[in-house]
């Protein structure tokens, strides 16, 4: 499925970019042709003006008499062997042919006073006549404000054609190479674009599989206890035991479903209107007071290092409280009796930093990159005995990121772990930190 999507992305990317490339190459070729033709027209016009400068004229009996003896090609001077002019023609003011050089022209001038592209046929080469393209200009020659004649000159377009042919050959070779590179780039970019989707799909599969697995155990307990109660006569005490097991299994499923709903509801950044000003010092003090009794029951030492002044920021207090509770609960679960748990709050660089440290069993380095993944357990057997689903840290991470913060962990096996939450503060009133 992903490879097919990747191929489709690469194909459409290549098609779209290739179309743009072909259009761009066509525009470049058109511009190149226009520039070459403009250069040829400039050269042809210059030569025509030089020839027109050799025309001598005078008025006799009220009419202009023209002398073309000094006009190159049309005069008595023989043409140079290297001349690029194919033909030159002189027409009278009434557009009648008077003199010419080169191929025999029509007796009367019928074209307008402008540049023209003309296709002519030379002597046959073999059995096929050769076609030659010419660029022609017809220039009216004026004397004292009156037109004394028309000079028509033509040059071959062979240099322009050869230049454009070479340019077209270059484009023909380069465009397929560019299309190949575009296709390769589309394949690579398609892979990069599909990678987050692939990761999300794999994560969804793992999530579905893990959630189904976690629900299967309490459902099996409910089913087995209910079946025993229905099939086998039980005394009141046994019946009570089975009902208690059903209740515990139902509570376990309810907790799991609640956690899954919490993850689903807060998958992105929180809306600004849902935030309010929160005093972290007061919130964490309440947390420390609440968990002090639990620490005493488990023979743990809870130490809190909180500032005297308030540390305020914009947050959703219930969700932020849930994130800290998950970290404290996790620390209590995996810290043996006689150990200690520490809750700290301080500020640095306009950030509020919350640390939850414990002297528990620690986390192996190989597991550190995965501990915030849903349903991930470092020690599956011990996690189940502690009553965990592997969602507490994932929920804490998601809730912190929903506030625009980040969470990290450092740990040494056998010495303990430290979880750190960093939150951006809009307003910090604490002094001395």
Pair 159, 22 in one domain: yes
Average pLDDT of the residues in 106-115 = 85
pLDDT of residue 250: 75
Confidence class of residue 128 from pLDDT cuts 50, 70 and 90? very low
The reported pLDDT for the residue numbered 5 is: 80
pLDDT-derived band at 114 (thresholds 50, 70, 90) equals confident
pLDDT digits (tens, 9 = 90+) for 180-194: 898 888 888 888 877
Give the residue-averaged pLDDT of 290-295. 80
Whole-number pLDDT of residue 387: 52
Q: Do the beta carbons of residue 80 and residue 96 sit within 8 Å?
A: no
Question: Does residue 427 have a pLDDT over 80?
Answer: no
Closest CA to 400 of 417, 426, 422: 422
Confidence of residue 217 (pLDDT cuts 50, 70, 90): low
Q: State how far the Cα of 297 lies from the Cα of 9, in Å rounded to an integer.
A: 59
Mark out the alpha helices in 271-421 (DSSP H runs). 280-297, 317-333, 380-385, 392-402
My answer on whether 156 and 16 are in the same domain is yes
Mean pLDDT of the chain: 81
Collapsing DSSP to helix, strand or coil, 152 comes out as strand
pLDDT of residue 429: 46
Reported as half-sphere exposure (CB side, CA atoms, 13 A), residue 234 has a value of 16
What's the Rg (C-alpha) of the chain?
46
303 belongs to a structural domain: yes
Please give the distance of CA 334 from its chain centroid, rounded to a whole number. 44
Contact call for residues 5 and 13 (beta carbons, < 8 A):
no
Comparing 405 with 210, the larger pLDDT belongs to 405
Domain ends where: 114, 145, 163? 163
CATH code for the domain in which residue 113 is found? 3.30.450
Do residues 425 and 351 touch, judged by C-beta distance below 8 A?
A: yes
Task: Please list the alpha-helical segments (H only) found in 300-391.
Answer: 317-333, 380-385
pLDDT at 57: 84
* CA distances, 151 to each of 100, 106, 228 (Å): 10, 14, 118
Q: CA-to-CA distance for 313 and 310, rounded, in angstroms?
A: 10
pLDDT given for residue 144 in this prediction: 80
Element (H, E) at 84: none
Whole-Å CA distances, 398 to 265, 276, 383, 384, 392: 10, 19, 21, 22, 10
Tell me the backbone φ, ψ of residue 147, rounded to 5 degrees.
Answer: -80, 120
Ranking 256-265, 292-301, 361-370 by mean pLDDT, the lowest is 256-265
The answer to the question of residue 301 being in a domain is yes
**285 lies in the same domain as 420:** yes
**Pairwise CA distance, residues 428 & 315, whole Å:** 13
Residues 6+ apart with CB under 8 A from 354: 280, 284, 324, 343, 344, 345, 420, 421, 423
Residue 2 has pLDDT above 80, yes or no: no
Range of the domain at 383: 270-424
What percent of the chain is predicted at pLDDT more than 90? 24
Instruction: Give the model's confidence band at 433: pLDDT under 50 very low, under 70 low, under 90 confident, else very high.
Output: very low
- Strands 301-305, 340-348: parallel, antiparallel or unpaired by DSSP? parallel
Identify the CA nearest to 322 among candidates 249, 276, 258, 380. 258
Phi, psi of 33 (to 5 degrees): -65, -40
234 vs 232: CA distance, rounded Å: 6
Does residue 224 belong to any structural domain of this protein? no
Structure confidence by residue, pLDDT tens digits, 23-35: 999 999 999 999 9
342 pLDDT band (50/70/90 cuts)?
very high
Mean local confidence (pLDDT), 83-100: 89
Residue 197 lies in a domain: no
User: Mean of the pLDDT values across residues 187-205?
Assistant: 77
Query: Is residue 323 within 8 Å of 399, Cβ to Cβ?
Result: yes
Give the span between the Cα atoms of 25 and 414, in whole angstroms: 67
Q: Are 149 and 92 in contact (CB under 8 A)?
A: yes
363 falls within a domain: yes
pLDDT at 390 over 80: no
Q: CATH no. for residue 324?
A: 3.30.565.10
Residue 44 lies in a domain: yes
286 inside domain:
yes
3-state SS string over 38-54? HHHHHHHHHHHHHHHHC
| pLDDT range class, residue 229, cuts 50, 70, 90 | low
φ, ψ dihedrals at 116, nearest 5°? -140, 150
- What confidence tier does 79 reach under pLDDT thresholds 50, 70, 90? low
**pLDDT tens digits, 134-178:** 999 999 998 888 888 999 999 999 899 999 999 999 998 998 998
Alpha helices in 232-356 (DSSP H): 236-265, 280-297, 317-333
Q: pLDDT category, 65, cuts 50, 70, 90?
A: confident
In angstroms, rounded to a whole number, what is the distance separating the alpha carbons of residues 211 and 233?
34
C-alpha pair distances (Å), 84 with each of 88, 136, 396: 11, 12, 85
* Same-domain pairing of 158 and 277: no
Which helix H or strand E contains 24, and what residues bound it? helix 2-53
Q: How many domains does the chain have?
A: 2
If asked whether residues 277 and 401 sit together in one domain, one would say yes
Q: Is residue 188 situated within a structural domain?
A: no
């Amino acid at each position: 499925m992903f490879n097919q999507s990747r191929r489709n992305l690469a194909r459409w990317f290549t098609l779209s970019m290739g179309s743009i490339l072909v259009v761009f190459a066509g525009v470049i070729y058109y511009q190149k042709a226009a520039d070459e033709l403009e250069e040829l027209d400039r050269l042809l016009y210059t030569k025509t003006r030089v020839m027109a400068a050799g025309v001598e004229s005078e008025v006799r009996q009220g009419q202009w008499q023209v002398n073309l003896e000094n006009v190159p090609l049309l005069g008595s001077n023989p043409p140079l062997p290297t001349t690029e002019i194919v033909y030159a023609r002189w027409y009278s003011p009434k557009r009648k042919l008077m003199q010419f050089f080169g191929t025999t022209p029509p007796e009367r001038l019928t074209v307008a006073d402008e540049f023209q592209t003309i296709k002519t046929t030379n002597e046959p080469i073999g059995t096929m006549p050769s076609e030659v393209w010419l660029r022609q200009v017809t220039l009216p020659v004026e004397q004292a404000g009156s037109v004394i004649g028309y000079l028509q000159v033509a040059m071959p377009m062979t240099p322009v054609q050869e230049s454009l042919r070479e340019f077209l050959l270059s484009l023909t070779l380069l465009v397929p190479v560019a299309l190949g590179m575009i296709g390769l780039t589309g394949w690579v970019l398609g892979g990069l674009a599909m990678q987050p989707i692939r990761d999300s799909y794999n994560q969804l599969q793992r999530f579905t599989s893990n959630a189904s697995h976690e629900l299967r155990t309490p459902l099996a307990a409910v089913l087995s206890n209910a079946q025993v109660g229905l099939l086998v006569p039980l005394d009141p005490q046994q019946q009570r035991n089975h009902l208690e097991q059903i209740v515990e299994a139902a509570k376990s499923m309810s907790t799991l479903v609640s956690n899954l709903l919490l993850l689903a509801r807060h998958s992105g950044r929180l809306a600004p209107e849902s935030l309010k000003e929160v005093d972290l010092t007061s919130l964490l003090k309440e947390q420390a007071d609440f968990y002090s009794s639990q620490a005493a029951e488990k023979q743990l030492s809870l130490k809190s290092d909180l500032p005297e002044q308030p540390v305020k920021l914009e947050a959703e207090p219930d969700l932020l409280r849930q994130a800290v509770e998950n970290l404290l609960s996790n620390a209590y679960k995996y810290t043996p009796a006689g150990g200690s748990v520490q809750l700290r709050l301080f500020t640095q660089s306009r950030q509020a930093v919350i640390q939850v440290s414990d002297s528990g069993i620690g986390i192996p380095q190989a597991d550190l990159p995965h501990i915030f993944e849903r349903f991930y357990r470092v020690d599956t057997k011990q996690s189940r005995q502690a009553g965990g689903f592997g969602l507490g840290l994932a929920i804490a991470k998601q809730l912190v990121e929903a506030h625009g913060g980040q969470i990290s962990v450092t740990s040494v096996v056998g010495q303990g772990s430290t979880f750190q939450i960093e939150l951006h503060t809009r307003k910090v009133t604490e002094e001395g930190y």
